[in-house]
Structure 1
């Protein structure tokens, strides 16, 4: 059974992402105070999530409370201080320290999106993934630096993905509309779809659909549809002997010349050239999502 504990890893390999330490602890002393620009252990990033109680983070001349459901992200060294003030209830937290250029890069991206303090539910994939990491280490299932690097990189991608999804500021209803439109285009890319047809299927105004798509996907519905058509054409060129003109028609392009023009935009070559260049492009499929 998992219990409060902490684990540290030390090696001299700076070429890969590494876990510095991980732990679960209960803090009940006001002596708990760490500054980011004056500590002997440097060169890592910190993620610390509050399970109960409350801590504080001083960051850029602000004092930010860290109640249950919040986490802070800081880099060491940097100008910050995280600490506990004795208010009766202990501060219970789970934390993860990482080393490596990629950890610093992801921290910069997330802090730029959300700031140094983020909110996540305890049952979210991010926090459940953190418990999974701690359990893996506690049970001795992963102590090799390469295993740990793979595991923590997967967790960092969950962190970045959740941050980007949250900052899209999309309501559940808007997300459902986007997914409905995407599914419709994936299923019917071979047909002569128009923006009106896609928006009618989603039962919304086409201009509103375009705004939602731009906010969520940073592209337009018709550009998304074109990506799916090119993907299908690439697969057919490589895995079938269908004539190139037929492939264009099967993938929703209304003329051979338009198919060739769009294909060259994506691949900088004609469909025929791509079909012949199997050594340079040995792929059965290419995806643009």
Structure 2
């Protein structure tokens, strides 16, 4: 899909929770930062890598003192699974001996140059890198995004754009002109979750982002992200994340402060 090298910059770095329909592979090459998921963070230091499966909400944060640098590529039609436990959201790996970094640099260069037969070269490079990362630990499963029904993708796009709004399955059915039971089935088959559970996940992810990056009150964040009340928001947040919103904000600020000091 792409291969590039990135470095933190205050003017061009946007830490917003997002997901991709393909698998993303990232390797930190310098500096310090962390990968934010909906329920945890993963430290990113030189030699640390992560593989993010399709449709997993995430974003990256960087230390101001040690700007994060990384190489990243996107690859379609595969997803990672644990050999013993099945599909995972994110897999961590290490490149302590520097074996992968030259290969990723070659991928970035090849993608930028777009010379004759670059697609063939890049596919071979991806196969080599993914095999080196996953052997003896994970397995690569087929995940052809082209097989996702148009109606399921249409519904996901709508939910991503309107998750802060009040909605019910009946509302979605009327808006998209699709039977609600059909909506539930195709969404579950395509993305492994029900539409309303996905809305809840998106709301929590946005709430976590606002708790971390703004001074909005808990009540304001509850209202912005579409929860019916502050008390309901706090109840759901603690049940899913494990701590109250105020506690999460304190922990996130401590983590950010420590990251900036590294």
TM-score with structure 1 setting the length: 0.42
User: Rg bigger for which structure?
Assistant: 1
TM-score with structure 2 setting the length: 0.46
Higher RCO (C-alpha 8 Å, min separation 6): 2
